[in-house]
């Protein structure tokens, strides 16, 4: 039986892109008719490698662009330059990019220059504020302009794309692949409970756990100082609280966090954790304080409140569901809301209902099915024979077999 034979190049560079594209890599690898090429820019190094190891993804290309304290300009130039030769050599039928990083935008631009079609996963999230998040808002908007197939996680993001006049038949609402990753990993994490408790011997898990992450560029400087000062005050005022903070490797994050939070007995500053361990920490936490996009999407599915240290968010669905709250970066406001959730059981419970505004774990299968169909159509149904039941196998895939 002859079938579709298309080369698909999946490109990513940072931790969140890797987590969100891992389900797609696995999905395409098991589908006949696709020749899958994985290219990592390595905009992140250690934090990317953690994800590649966990999901057992061996890239075909590693552009190895990361340098310590890299600037946006040098990073953009490096990704653009090195992607160009990969795309020339591979000449894929489609490139898949995800999200809003510099890798996302520069890889999409490089594909555009070679007239290679772009599929954008997690399309249409918007704040419409040029500098918030910075540079992600514009990275995502500019990537949309270069995109042929937009995979919007929610109706809200679809509406944003429609409002910008992108063609309706090029937009597909599929949920967010982060939920595919989360749902599969969380069972494995729960099954490893005793192992993780031993690993974090210094943390008293009989106490309530506040899990923290942060890395947004627009919060660098005074924003981070304020957030850390709030955490310090909360730690001192609540000796019955354990605070666990995996600190992002960006030097602009490392310095204020270590300067302001080292040495407090109930604050545990730890390196970035591999995804399995971090999912266990989220699942084990009482609440989460974060400026992370991915964490905002994951925590509602686990039924924990999430306080977001930003003034805006392109992920308003969890706010609407009542399980997330923007607390900004003013110290008093952060202290107020964490303390309120610690002290007021009714408010805590109202924000602790499991909600899945970002998907049901089937996104990667839906995306693969759509791309199978559109690539078949774009070839006029003529190239290299016919595909049996094109786009018809939409069953939930058994992703990450090695993790279960």
Catalytic residues: 100, 122, 136, 215, 217, 248
Residue 45 interacts with ligand UD1 (CB under 6 A)? yes
Residue list 17-46, contact with ligand UDP (CB under 6 A): 19
Rg of the chain in Å (alpha carbons): 21
* Residue 270 to residue 384: CA distance in whole angstroms: 52
User: Is 36 within 8 Å of 8 (Cβ atoms)?
Assistant: yes
Distances (CA, A) of 68 to 13, 74, 219, 247, 304: 15, 12, 19, 16, 34
> Phi and psi (nearest 5°) for 5?
-135, 90
Residue 15 interacts with ligand UD1 (CB under 6 A)? yes
* Residue 321 to residue 335: CA distance in whole angstroms: 23
Residue 357 binds which of ligand UD1, ligand UDP, none (CB < 5-8 A, kind-dependent): none
Residue 296 interacts with ligand UD1 (CB under 6 A)? no
Binding mask 165-204 for ligand UDP (x = CB under 6 A): -------------x--------------------------
Hey, what are 187's tokens?
């069972």
How many residues bind to ligand UD1 according to rule CB under 6 A? 24
Residue list 306-365, contact with ligand UD1 (CB under 6 A): none
Residue 13 interacts with ligand UDP (CB under 6 A)? no
Show Cβ contacts of residue 329 under 8 Å, excluding neighbours closer than 6 positions. Answer: 219, 222, 223, 224, 226, 227, 309, 310, 311
Task: Give 245's strand partners.
Answer: 269
**Which one, 105 or 278, has the nearer CB to ligand UDP?**
278
Task: Give 326's strand partners.
Answer: 308
- Please report how close the Cβ of residue 278 comes to ligand UDP at its closest, in angstroms: 3
Residue 132 interacts with ligand UD1 (CB under 6 A)? no
CA atoms within a 13 Å half-sphere pointing along the CA-CB vector of 376 = 20
Per residue, the 3-state secondary structure of 272-308, as one string, reads CCCHHHHHHHHHHCCEEEECCHHHHHHHHHHCCCEEE
Residue 164 interacts with ligand UD1 (CB under 6 A)? no
Query: Among residues 350, 377, 224, which one has the least CA distance to residue 287?
Result: 350
Show Cβ contacts of residue 343 under 8 Å, excluding neighbours closer than 6 positions. Answer: none
- Please report how close the Cβ of residue 271 comes to ligand UDP at its closest, in angstroms: 8
- Please report how close the Cβ of residue 315 comes to ligand UDP at its closest, in angstroms: 10
Binding mask 226-265 for ligand UDP (x = CB under 6 A): --------------------x-------------------
34, 105, 245, 278: residue in contact with ligand UDP (rule CB under 6 A): 278
**Which one, 270 or 390, has the nearer CB to ligand UD1?**
270
Helix (H, G, I), strand (E, B) or coil at 98: strand
- Please report how close the Cβ of residue 14 comes to ligand UD1 at its closest, in angstroms: 4
CA atoms within a 13 Å half-sphere pointing along the CA-CB vector of 115 = 0
Residue 293 interacts with ligand UDP (CB under 6 A)? yes
Task: Give 242's strand partners.
Answer: 209
Helix (H, G, I), strand (E, B) or coil at 244: strand
Burial class from Cβ neighbours inside 10 Å (0-12, 13-18, 19+) for residue 398 reads: exposed
Residue 397 interacts with ligand UD1 (CB under 6 A)? no
**Which one, 90 or 297, has the nearer CB to ligand UDP?**
297
Residue list 107-166, contact with ligand UDP (CB under 6 A): none
Residue 250 binds which of ligand UDP, ligand UD1, none (CB < 5-8 A, kind-dependent): ligand UD1
**Which one, 126 or 369, has the nearer CB to ligand UDP?**
126
47, 65, 118, 211: residue in contact with ligand UD1 (rule CB under 6 A): 47
CA dihedral defined by 338, 344, 345, 351, rounded to 10 degrees?
-50
Q: Which residues are at the interface with ligand UDP (CB under 6 A)?
A: 15-16, 19, 178, 213, 215, 246, 272-273, 275, 278, 292-295, 298
Q: Which residues are at the interface with ligand UD1 (CB under 6 A)?
A: 14-16, 43-47, 66-70, 72, 75, 100-102, 135-136, 215, 249-251
């Amino acid at each position: 039986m002859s079938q579709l034979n298309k080369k698909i190049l999946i490109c990513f560079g940072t931790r969140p892109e890797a987590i969100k594209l891992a389900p797609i890599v696995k999905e395409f690898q098991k589908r006949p008719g696709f020749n899958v090429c994985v290219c990592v820019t390595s905009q992140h190094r250690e934090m990317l490698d953690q994800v590649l190891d966990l999901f057992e993804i061996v890239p075909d290309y590693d552009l190895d662009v990361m340098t310590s304290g890299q600037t946006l300009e040098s990073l953009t130039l490096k990704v653009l330059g090195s992607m160009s030769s990969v795309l020339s050599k591979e000449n894929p039928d489609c490139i898949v990019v995800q999200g809003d990083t510099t890798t996302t935008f520069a890889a999409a631009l490089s594909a555009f220059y070679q007239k290679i079609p772009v599929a954008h996963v997690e399309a249409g999230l918007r704040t419409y504020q040029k500098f918030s998040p910075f540079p992600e808002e514009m990275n995502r908007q500019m990537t949309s302009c270069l995109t042929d197939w937009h995979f919007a996680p929610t109706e809200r993001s679809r509406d944003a794309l429609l409002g910008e006049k992108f063609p309706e038949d090029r937009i597909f609402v599929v949920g967010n692949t982060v939920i595919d990753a989360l749902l599969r990993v969380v069972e494995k994490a729960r099954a490893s409970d005793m192992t993780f408790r031993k690993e974090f011997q210094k943390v008293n898990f009989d106490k309530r756990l506040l899990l923290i992450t942060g890395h947004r560029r627009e919060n660098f400087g005074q924003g981070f100082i304020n957030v850390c000062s709030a955490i310090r005050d909360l730690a001192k005022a609540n000796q019955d609280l354990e605070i666990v903070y995996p600190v992002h490797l960006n030097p602009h994050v490392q310095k204020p966090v270590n300067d302001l939070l080292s040495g407090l007995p109930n604050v545990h500053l730890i390196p970035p954790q591999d995804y399995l361990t971090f999912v266990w920490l989220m699942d084990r936490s009482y609440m989460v304080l974060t400026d992370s996009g991915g964490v905002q999407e994951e925590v509602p599915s686990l039924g924990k409140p999430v306080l977001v240290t930003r003034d805006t968010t392109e992920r308003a669905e969890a706010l609407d569901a009542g399980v997330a709250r923007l607390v900004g970066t003013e110290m008093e406001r952060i202290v107020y809301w964490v303390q309120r959730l610690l002290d007021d059981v009714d408010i805590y419970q109202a924000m602790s209902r499991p909600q899945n505004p970002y998907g049901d774990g089937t996104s990667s299968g839906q995306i693969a099915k759509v791309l199978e169909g559109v690539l078949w159509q774009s070839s006029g149904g003529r190239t290299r024979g016919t595909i049996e039941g094109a786009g018809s196998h939409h069953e939930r895939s058994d992703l990450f077999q090695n993790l279960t």
